Structure 1
Amino acid sequence: MKHMKQLGVLLACCVGGSLLSLLLRGLLPGNVLGLTLLLALLIFGAVRLHHVESVADFLLQNMAFFFLPAMLGVLEIWNDIKSEALAILAVCLLTTLCTAAATALTVHIVFRLQHRETEEAFDHD
């Protein structure tokens, strides 16, 4: 029963995000708004981490299953896109590298800021 409640919280955020997207006339995607809604609920304490943690962990551990429909869709249109496959792969590689670089830079900046805060705390003591 615990897992059903946790799944219900996640699905409620998903549906809430989709409804917000409809209200905003598709300005932002429903899945992005749903995750933002869940984040806001977690930050403000309306939802505690233990309310969603085990189902979220299960979904993250089995994320590959969620990519199967997309891959099957690509296989269905393969004849239409095979002439552009090299360009598509190049864009995928480039965006992956850009994402990795942005993530690494963000982590580096956060570590430097945390280290600076730690040093300032020691200086004030």
Structure 2
Amino acid sequence: MMSTIPIIFNEKNVAHTVVGGQLCPVASAFLGAVVLNRGVRWNRAEFFAQLTTLGIAPIVSVERSAAAPDVTGLAERFPFVKFITPLECISVGEMINLGVAELDVMYVLVLWSDMRIDPQV
């Protein structure tokens, strides 16, 4: 079952920076993804490659804090992924709202950056 809850009305304006996010040639207006970075240093490059192989685009990655040193390198390797770094401490719900607000698709997958996706599913 899928949740279709819209983002909240009184959404907090969060100061943030954006890196990357050029248009992706496989982007559809149907399904996008918001990846919430937990701060754990899993292989995020492999994760983004897997999402694009599955046809999930556009992708927005919301960082946990401004201290994410791998963002510049990842943005160069995956120019179609938009990396958002909030300039203040925000909740998980605010991270989701920030990411969803950047997408223009019908459906959004919200994923943690340390999840493993089974390609057989």
Give the TM bin, normalised by the shorter chain: under 0.3
Q: Which has the higher helix share?
A: 1
Structure with more relative contact order (C-alpha pairs < 8 Å, separation 6 or more): 2
Structure whose CA Rg is larger: 1
TM-score normalised by structure 1 residue count: 0.21
Q: Which has the higher strand share?
A: 2
